[in-house]
Amino acid sequence: MRTTRRTGDAGERLAAAYLELTGWTVLERNRRLAGVEVDLVAAEGATRVLVEVKFRGRWDWGGAAAAVDRAKRERLRRAARALEQDGVARVRVDVVAVELTADGAIVRHHRNAVQESDH
């Protein structure tokens, strides 16, 4: 397995554990919606949350959350619309950034990070 894939899997496992520790239910990993791979699909109460996970060991380019560029945001919006068309009433897109430091990992949860009106 390639190093980047192993690193991505580790980031997804950390993000899923974080969400579950805060009371969420992780429903799926690596779900495809409208041709878009969504890292995690979770439930926060009645809301389905599509979670983009970004894992970084270096801060050179602004940290993990900065890696969700305009094109990625548009793909995530498309995935959210597909889930809504499947009958899910409340859908949101969050980003969970996992960043390594000398002391361990920092998890930053950006709620509603991708909105329909983002441009």
pLDDT tens digit sequence for 72-85: 999 999 999 999 99
pLDDT tens digit sequence for 56-68: 876 555 666 677 8
**CB within 8 A of 47, min separation 6: which ones?**
90, 91, 92
How much is the pLDDT for 119?
Answer: 47
CA dist 60 and 80 (Å) reads 30
Distances (CA, A) of 98 to 6, 12, 20, 81, 92: 14, 9, 15, 26, 19
Predicted model pTM: 0.87
Domains of the chain, start order: 3-114 (3.40.1350.10)
